[in-house]
Amino acid sequence: MTSGGIRRSFAAWAGLAFALFGGAVQAAPHPWQLNMERGASTWSQVPYHLNNISLGVCVVIGVLVFGAMFIAMFRFRKSRGAVAETWSHNTKLEIVWTTIPVLILIVLAYLATGGLTSWADTTGSQMTVKVTGYQWKWRYDYISYHGKPIEKVGFMSKLDKLSNETRQLDSGMNPYAVKVGNQNTYLLNVDKPLVVPINTKIRFLITGGDVIHSWWVPALGWKLDAIPGIINAAWTNIKTPGTYRGQCAELCGQDHGFMPIVVVAKSKADFAKWLAEQEAKSARPAAATAAATPAAAAAKTLQLAAVPSKAKQG
């Protein structure tokens, strides 16, 4: 193969690689996806673009290094009469190939640090949700919304009944038949999803109730460990209504693989309705308990009054 043919081959392969990775830009994961998903939040674009920049740098370096190596192997082979050079080093060249990688690493580190700093900055949050990981389920507690405390709105979220029945040994049930609409949701659906509003900066306070877990929804662009005794904080701002699925990303025991996460993003109006319904539900049992307390106390008083005292019995 001539040197011109080698260069054309490498150019073709490089073009194919960029076409494949550049074309895999989807809002949600799909089979044979080659690149990261863009995600659904404002911040999820940051790791997506950082990944593409790093990937591009690596592809360019790979093409240059392997291209030079194969050109040297084929063009300067012994069968063509090539004679090896006898010099041992080149100071200028060594400075160049040391300086360039260092500069590349500095630029990548600078970009990554800026992204991580913005992700860790939860100031200005309009909503706060506490997430607690348990074996093998999640608990969500709504703390505040637009500066107003939310009281007694919280629930456990665990693997949905159909997936749980299907996963049992010798169940005879088809995992591919576990669907929500046309989407297969086997081991990816829950009984109670986390409901949040769109276009709202939401702060997550994430911790663990027993062992270490990790709360991960790919569409949000990040994952965060849920560690007992420690509260980690992160934020998101989802731009598009929809259902976003994730899983526990930290090995936490025998049912680690059956600990999905579902986030349902609604419009602000729909979320306000949902939140009002949840607050009303939590208020009804409290009111019933408050009403039952005086009645129970009165019944107890009558019961005690009906029992003769020991003095009278004597």
In tens, the pLDDT along 221-255 reads 999 999 999 999 999 999 999 999 999 999 999 99
pTM, two decimals, is 0.76
The alpha-helical segments, DSSP class H, found in 78-136 are: 91-120
The whole-number pLDDT of residue 232 equals: 97
Phi, psi of 112 (to 5 degrees): -65, -40
Q: Are residues 97 and 146 in the same domain?
A: no
Residues 48 and 152 in one domain: no
Same domain for 149 and 102: no
Instruction: Find out whether 46 and 118 touch, Cβ atoms under 8 Å.
Output: yes
How many H helices and E strands in the chain? Answer: 6, 13
What angle do the packed helices 45-75 and 91-120 form, to 10 degrees?
160
SS3 (DSSP) at 288: helix
Does residue 193 lie in a domain region?
A: yes
- What is the DSSP secondary-structure string of 177-197? G-EETTEE-TTT-BSS-EEEE
Residue in 3, 131, 109 with CA at minimum distance from that of residue 54: 109
Local structure of 145: helix, strand or coil:
strand
Q: Which of 207, 227, 230 is nearest to 141 (CA)?
A: 207
Please choose, from the candidates 164, 192, 170, the residue with its C-alpha nearest in 3D space to the C-alpha of residue 258.
164
Q: Does some domain include residue 92?
A: yes
Same domain assignment for residues 21 and 138: no
pLDDT in tens, 46-102: 999 999 999 999 999 999 999 999 998 888 887 888 887 787 888 998 999 899 999
Radius of gyration of the chain (CA): 30
**Which CATH number goes with the domain that contains 183?**
2.60.40.420
Place of tokens 């936490």: 252
CB 165 within 8 A of CB 177: no
Q: Please state, in angstroms and rounded to a whole number, the distance separating the CA atoms of residues 264 and 270.
A: 11
Q: What is the CATH number of the domain that holds 98?
A: 1.10.287.90
Residue with tokens 């662009």: 221
* Three-class secondary structure of residue 31 per DSSP: coil
Confirm whether 297 is domain-assigned: no
Distance CA 214, CA 224 (A): 5
Token output for 168: 């049992």
What tens-digit pLDDT sequence spans the chain (314 residues)? 454 554 455 444 444 444 444 433 334 667 787 888 888 999 999 999 999 999 999 999 999 999 999 998 888 887 888 887 787 888 998 999 899 999 999 999 999 999 999 999 999 999 999 999 999 999 999 999 999 999 899 999 999 999 999 999 889 999 999 998 888 999 999 999 999 999 999 999 999 999 999 999 999 999 999 999 999 999 999 999 999 999 999 999 999 999 999 999 999 999 999 999 999 988 766 555 554 555 555 555 445 445 444 444 44
Interatomic CA distance for residues 194 and 216, integer angstroms:
13
The dihedral sign for the CA sequence 107, 111, 114, 117: negative
Task: Count up the domains in the chain and report the number.
Answer: 2
Indicate if 103 and 172 belong to the same structural domain. Answer: no
Same domain (yes/no): 165, 227: yes
| Boundaries of domain holding 138 | 127-273
- Claim to verify: residue 70 and residue 148 sit in the same structural domain: no
